Amino acid sequence: MCGRTACTLAADEVSRASQYRDRGGQRRQPRWKDGDSDKYRPSYNKSPQSLSPVLLSQRHFVKNAPVDECVLAAMRWGLVPAWFRENDPNKMQYSTNNCRSESLLEKKSYKDPLLKGQRCVILADGFYEWRRQEKDKQPFFIYFPQTQGPAPVKTEEQDEGTPCKEDPQTCTSEEGSGDQKEEDKGDREWRGWRLLTIAGLFDCWTPPSGGDPLYTYTVITVDASPNLQGIHDRMPAILDGEEEVRKWLDFGEVKSLDALKLLQSKNTLTFHPVSSFVNNSRNNSPECLQPVDPQAKEPKLSASSKMMMGWLKSSTHPKRKESDTGEVKQEGHPRETRPKKQLKPAGPLQQWLQGASKKPRTN
């Protein structure tokens, strides 16, 4: 299952982190659907009913758009079928946060959007899962293995042999118009945190009495990979690499039955234990994903966590200051207000947290 995720990137960073190649092999940067970048809020602790960044084909919104052109949208977690007749989507009598890959063609709620090509990719830093223990549950943060440290970003100018005169961490120029700089962003390859790409289905529901349409999604799950079976027997269906993402979204070229073949258990994720601080979905801060020692008894924040909290409270990155704190409380997880003793984060996670404490991450 998948009941909690994290997506801490700002809206413009999500766009850059989800660059893709179209059928012709050209690298593209998806734009946000009109107004949706303002609806999205970064969060260390996203629960069902909250809005998450979702990647899908632009043709779902613009009928004459190329089917392989992608767009970002902010969709609510928990699929509301188009045929649902109540005026309040919260009156759904059953959970549609997750759907099992084995039963996609058996249940109308999922079969209809699947056969209509309404496939999407949910984007997240990672997801949380709880391992049952004797008296309680130990939460884990699960994500793609990250590269060891950020690499300088190459621009088109550098490819022609001209060195970058700016900070090699960002490699952007302050010269030129805003439009030019925005256009240049699409040419820069993302070198930050590699987002999880999770297979999902979406639907568009309109209240029978009239009103704005509501776009919602469900996370498709498969049997857990061998390295995750000790935590839980199910996991989200992960799309590993640009080619799998392209095939899942390209409903014009890849038909539904062929797309289902992409839903496989993949032994490609890594994980670390985190504090039970994450159990309460109202808690939304770096402690949620900080590595901990499950055996430690004395709660203590790590230096990285303190730096990140100070950075979030500062005015250096207003886009991340407005994080998503209005999450819906999850049942079944005990409340905890303080994290357990922290272990020193290792490798790229530490670099990501410490780098963010120095200045807004732009690459």
Stated length of the chain = 363
Task: Give which of 44, 40, 52, 13 is closest to 305, Cα–Cα.
Answer: 44
Q: Which strand (E) or helix (H) includes residue 28?
A: strand 27-28
Handedness of CA 170, 174, 175, 180 (dihedral sign): positive
φ, ψ (nearest 5 deg) of residue 321: -60, -40
φ, ψ (nearest 5 deg) of residue 182: -65, -40
Query: Is 288 a residue of the active site?
Result: no
Helix and strand numbers (H, E) in the chain are 10, 15
Given the residues 2, 99, 171, 288, the one annotated as active site: 2
Q: Are 99 and 220 in contact (CB under 8 A)?
A: yes
- The CA distance from 247 to 249, in Å, is 5
- The CA distance from 362 to 130, in Å, is 33
- Report the relative pairing of strands 137-143 and 270-273 from DSSP bridges: antiparallel
- Report the relative pairing of strands 196-205 and 119-124 from DSSP bridges: antiparallel
Handedness of CA 8, 12, 16, 21 (dihedral sign): positive
Distance, CA of 245 to chain centre: 14
Task: Give which of 126, 166, 130 is closest to 142, Cα–Cα.
Answer: 126
φ, ψ (nearest 5 deg) of residue 95: -80, 135
Query: Is 129 a residue of the active site?
Result: yes
β-bridge partners, 20: 28
Distance, CA of 191 to chain centre: 16
Question: DSSP secondary structure string, 236-249?
Answer: E-B--SHHHHHHHH
Given the residues 7, 69, 120, 129, the one annotated as active site: 129
Q: Which residues are catalytic?
A: 2, 129
